[in-house]
Each structure stands twice: as C-alpha cells, then as structure tokens.
Amino acid sequence: MLSPFILIILIFCNFIMAFTNSLAAKPHNYVIVENTFPADKIDDPQVLSFRKNYRKRQFQLAGILTVLDLSLLIPMKDSLFMMLFFVLLYITIGSGYLLQIRYIRKGHQLIVDNGWQLTEQPIQVDTKLVLEKNRKLVSPWWFALSFGVLILLTFVLHQQEMGSLTWILLFACGLTLALFVLGWWAIGRLPVRALTNDSTINRQYNDLTKFYWSAFMVATSIFINLIVYLPLLSMSIESHFFEVLMTSEFLLIFLFCGFTIWWLFRLRNKQDQLLTQTTSFRYTGDDYYWRYGIYYNPDDRRLMLPDRIGLNITINLARIGGKIFIGLIPAILISVMLIVVVPLYILDYHPDPLTYEVKQESIVLDGPLYRESNINYNSIEEVSLINKMPTIGMKVNGLASINYAIGSFKVDGKSATLFVDHQSKPILKITTKDRDYYYTNTDSSVTKQVYQKVRAHQ
C-alpha cells in the first residue's frame, strides 16, 4: 500500500510545482516570468502566446515526470524505494526551476526583439511613506491568541500524562511561535519603495502588503499549533472520537491551504487593481537582478522582500544571510534524505539490524537510529509469541514502511514500542502495564530463543 501512496504524493508534488511555477505567467506589477513588460503590451498576441506556452510547458513537464514516477511501482527494497523517491522529488524541483530560467530568457529576448525595453527611473523616496510604512501592520498582541492556544494544548496533553513529550513539544512549538513573531518583525522591517508617482496609491499598496502578510503570520502560528497537537490528543480518546478528530485535522489542513491561496491571491489582485488606476508605474531596472528566478542585488540592503509573483517573501541572495539561506537548502534536502534512507539501508542489508541483549534484571531491545528499550523483568505482565501484528494505529515517532516498523506507535489503542520486521514470524510480544513491546529478529529462530530467555527470567 505504501508504494501507491508515495506515488500519489509525488504526482501531487509534480502538479503543485507546475501550478506554482505557472503563476509567474499571470502579470503582477506588469511582470511576466521575471520580465517587466510595458503596460500596453500585456495583452499583445505575442505576450499572450508566451504566457500560454510557459504554462503549457510546466504542465507538460509535470506529465513527463509523472510517467517517470511510475518506476516506484517496480518491486524493490525499502531503502532503494525511498532513495528513488527523493531523487525523483529533487528532479521535479530542479527541472521546474530550469524550465523557468529558460522562459525568463525567452521573455527577455521577446522584449529585446520588439524594442519594448522600459526606461529605468531612479528610485523615488517618499519620506511620509517611509515614516508611516507600518501603520497597517497588525499588533504583536495578535500573537497572544496563538500563545494562549499553545498553553491550553500543553495543559491538555499534560493531563494525558505524556511525560517528557509534553515539554519537548512545548519547547518546539514555542520556538516555532518565536520564529513567526520574528517573521512578523521582518515584515515590519521591509523597506518600502514608490512604485508609481502617485503617493496615495503607493501608500495603499504598502498598507495592503503589511496587513495581509503580518495577519498571515499570526494565522499560520495558530494553525501550526493545532496541526501538531491534534494527532497527540487523539491518542487517548475512544475509537469513535479518534476518527472524528483525525477527520477534523485533515479538513483543517485543506481549509487552511484553501485560505492561504485565497488570502494571498486577494492581496495580489488588490495590488494589481491599484496599479491599473495610474499610468505612472516606475521601472527601476529590477529585471537584471531576477535573471535566474532569484533576487541577487549587492547594492540592495534588504535581506527580505516580496517576490515578483506577489504570493511570497523572498531573500536577497547577495546578502550574507541570503547566502547562508541558499546554502542551507541543499544541506537540509540531503540531510532529510539521509535520515530516512540510512536506517532503511541498515535494515535491508545489515545481517542483524534488530538486536537484543539479555541482562540479569532486564532485556534490552534495539534498532537502527532509535533509542533502545530497557524492559525490567519485574514490570513484565505477559510474554508471548504471535503470528500477526494487531492493528497498528498512529505512529508517534520512528520509522514505518512496508517491511519495517521501528519506534513508538499506538497498537490496539495502547502505547507500544516496535522493533519489527514484518517479513519475519513469529513476533515476540512483551506486555507491561503502561506499554507493549513487539520484537522480531531477522532469523525467526532467534526470536523464539529470545522468548525462551525472557520466560526463564520471569
């Protein structure tokens, strides 16, 4: 079941990337695929054809990548499967970016061939606009709601006796909240520029940007808390409430995604409507700094600035912070791949990946890249061999694939730690008051030996 599910995720990513990249073909501030066109040429037949071809090529690329993704249906070991998944995902990201660069150059050539180059104008400083740039920025007190939700959810989780997990999540979500507050602060620090000669329109344009983006930071901080805590809150409720809560979480995710698209498109449309009210749009030669779909301008002191699609905040890669950011992206992508693939590689190719150690007073179960479980014999209520795993519910942490389950799970409504190779039978089950433990060795005869040794110590 895992292969089709992962394949669906990858296909979804292909078309989401195509949709996101194709947004650059819709004019915003007279910019189409990182090229600024004259206002009276936006609906020129050549420009319309250019826009149409760019969108078509993005979705054609998504179709080609989808065919390539079907290779995931070939039977293979879990480690090779996940390695292939990440390679295909990175190909999706890279090929979409390369196609964008190609059309940035095509757009520039279209402007040159038709003599549509705009005259660069000096940057105009509106002192009043600079002084009042944050008058529509939402108050930081708006984050009090997010903080209150975090404290409430932490209290509820503590009542469910989640132990150290409660405080780990409080720290992690508290840090995330601090990052959103930092994002709010960065939006307030964004410098403003006069896009037209009309000071009223410039002020309204800036007010829209500040309000929409700062309010979005607050809303997202609340959403992140809910999406992290809801699965954990469902762990100790009755089964019929579990389905209701999980359904609510999926609906919440879809609603928030829909809200995000609606909110940012609303901002973009309002900004474009403002610019259509004047013919004094000021072109300052920014196309030169967006030649590769990213902003690189050593003379611009801004670290963060709105992107040219109007739906995101981007980074000036000429700044030191921008260089650090761009360097972190491949490091994070490679790290995520290694964190997922390395444990699976050990499980697939190590002769004895799931180990045990019988001590005088306890038995220790261990697996790759997961903390060992030390089970005192006095705490064991029952030990048995079973031929089939009970229903595995939600994974709390660890690794779960077609062939392996290692980590903390909910099994038949009870907390459980699994070190299980699903291809090996029987399965050793150790029952304690608070938690069950499931273990298999690659060699089924060794699993039976562990069972006998534990029985002998009871």
Tell me: the pLDDT tens digits for 108-127? 999 999 999 988 877 777 78
Judge whether residue 451 has pLDDT over 80. yes
Question: Cα–Cα distance between 221 and 176 in angstroms, integer?
Answer: 8
Question: Cα–Cα distance between 87 and 70 in angstroms, integer?
Answer: 13
Q: Is 263 exposed, middle or buried (0-12, 13-18, 19+ CB in 10 A)?
A: middle
Local structure of 371: helix, strand or coil: strand
Q: What pLDDT is attached to residue 4?
A: 80
Q: What pLDDT is attached to residue 119?
A: 85
Helix residue spans in 292-376 (DSSP H) = 320-349
Q: Which residue has the tokens 């609606």?
A: 262
Q: b/e per residue, 327-345, with b = 16+ CB within 10 A?
A: eeeeeeeeeebeebbebbb
Q: Which residue has the tokens 């389950």?
A: 405
* Ramachandran bin of 443, using left for φ above 0, alpha for ψ from -120 to 50, beta for the remaining angles: beta
Q: What pLDDT is attached to residue 422?
A: 87
Question: Cα–Cα distance between 454 and 262 in angstroms, integer?
Answer: 59
Radius of gyration of the chain (CA): 28
Judge whether residue 44 has pLDDT over 90. yes
* Cα→Cα distances 353→83, 249, 336, 370, 407, Å: 19, 35, 21, 11, 14
Residues of the chain with CATH 2.30.29: 355-457
Other residues' Cβ atoms within 10 Å of the Cβ of residue 413: 15
Local structure of 424: helix, strand or coil: coil
Judge whether residue 81 has pLDDT over 70. yes
Judge whether residue 59 has pLDDT over 60. yes
* Cα→Cα distances 343→79, 347, 348, 401, Å: 8, 6, 9, 11
pLDDT level of residue 439 (50, 70, 90 thresholds): very high
Question: Cα–Cα distance between 57 and 50 in angstroms, integer?
Answer: 11
Q: Which residue has the tokens 């459980």?
A: 416
CATH dotted code for 355-457? 2.30.29
Question: Cα–Cα distance between 33 and 96 in angstroms, integer?
Answer: 13
Structure-block tokens of residue 434: 């608070």
Structure-block tokens of residue 56: 């078509």
User: Amino acid letter at 197?
Assistant: N
Span 303-324, pLDDT tens digits = 878 888 877 778 889 889 889 9
Span 216-265, pLDDT tens digits = 999 999 888 888 777 666 555 555 555 666 677 778 888 888 888 899 88
Q: What pLDDT is attached to residue 455?
A: 87
Closest alpha carbon to 30 in 4, 51, 9, 15? 51
Mean pLDDT, all residues of the chain: 86
Span 141-199, pLDDT tens digits = 999 999 998 888 888 777 766 666 778 878 888 898 999 998 899 888 887 878 888 88
Structure-block tokens of residue 361: 């007073």
pTM of the model: 0.77
* Cα→Cα distances 453→15, 120, 424, Å: 54, 82, 19
Whether 62 contacts 15, CB under 8 Å: yes
Q: What pLDDT is attached to residue 403?
A: 84
Judge whether residue 387 has pLDDT over 70. yes
Closest alpha carbon to 431 in 441, 417, 444? 417
Q: What pLDDT is attached to residue 265?
A: 87
Q: Which helix (H) or strand (E) holds 93?
A: helix 78-114
pLDDT level of residue 84 (50, 70, 90 thresholds): very high
pLDDT level of residue 102 (50, 70, 90 thresholds): very high
Q: What pLDDT is attached to residue 456?
A: 84
Q: What pLDDT is attached to residue 457?
A: 75
Q: Which phi and psi angles does 104 have, rounded to 5°?
A: -60, -45
List residues bridging with 358 in a β-sheet.
363
